[in-house]
Amino acid sequence: MIIQIVCIIIIIGIYVGAAGRGVWKYRIRTGERMSKMEQTRAKELAITAAKIRLAGLEAVHTAASGHIGGSLSVTDVLTVLYFDKMHIDPQNPQDPDRDRFVLSKGHCTPALYPTLALRGFFPVDDLKLFRSIDGHVSGHAEMRYVKGVDMSTGSLGQGLSVAVGMALSGKIDKKDYHVYAIMGDGEIEEGQIWEAAMAAAKFGLDNLCGVVDVNGLQIDGKTADVMPSEPLDQKWEAFGWNVIKCDGHDIAAISDAFDAAAACKGKPSVILAKTVKGKGVSFMENNAGWHGKAPNDEQYETAKAELEATLKGLEG
């Protein structure tokens, strides 16, 4: 029965895709000297990430609800993807040749929605109605109402199956687009993730890149305590994937990781991005309590001040 469900979701991914368009085997540079051009670009992306964090924090505070911790941890990866790697056109969000993205950890819209807004898919002011019945930006990723969202997600464990279907659709249709899927390290406790991983390797989907946001925490505490999943690299390798590790907050390292994934042929790639839950806000960092709650007014002002200081430092 479970296998049948996975197959159905993969088929959904194929339909959606068609409707629209080793352990440390690859060394990702961290801290190595970059060219002036690369340094400038990395700084630009870091500034964008800082703005996304601020916008996400404000949205959650205004709504008095939302998942801020995991959103802050995944922001840098999203920034590199949407502003430097993905072939997308905000003016033509259904371009059949566009790259696809699935936020499998669909509750982290306080990172995804500001990313889409700053990328030009919809006005930034729309974020003021985050989680509001009067707005279109709901608490979980919603493809029917939000331009730029390729798949509605929120039920954990299903996003990779959809991404597999999209990537397989691209292969069948002989398209050149790539598919990206971001998963949480707590989310991959779901068995469906691994069934999809087997399918991706079986079909040789080298146009598929998964990212695991390895922040070590989930709603119930440390992932190592709730359901140990390490060694993640060896698990993904055993399932036939090309494994790449990187610092999930190092813009250049993230960029290199995606380049390494694109260069791999014959198998899907997964990036294990080591991150910090609540990144950028001192009292939220590495604190599972901030998985899914909003800051009060005092906490918001403190968090906002810290994020603004980071942005000012980058722009200075």
Which residue ranges form the domains of the chain, and what is each CATH number? 2-20+67-108+140-295 (3.40.50.970)
pLDDT of res. 41: 95
Would the pLDDT of 75 be above 80? Answer: yes
The contacts of residue 263 (CB under 8 Å, 6+ apart) are none
Task: Look at phi and psi of residue 286 and say left if phi exceeds 0, alpha if psi is from -120 to 50, else beta.
Answer: left
Note the pLDDT tens digit of each residue in 11-30. Answer: 555 545 544 433 333 334 44
Local confidence band at 139 (pLDDT 50, 70, 90 cut-offs):
confident
Q: Spell out the residues 6+ positions from residue 172 whose beta carbon is closer than 8 angstroms to its own.
A: 14, 18
Looking at residues 253-279, what average pLDDT do you find? 98
Average pLDDT for 205-210: 99
Structure tokens at 162: 């959809």
The CA-based diameter of the chain, rounded to the nearest angstrom, is: 57
Average pLDDT, the chain: 91
| pLDDT at residue number 134 | 87
pLDDT at 310 over 80: yes
pTM, entire model: 0.89
Q: What is the mean pLDDT of residues 96-102?
A: 98
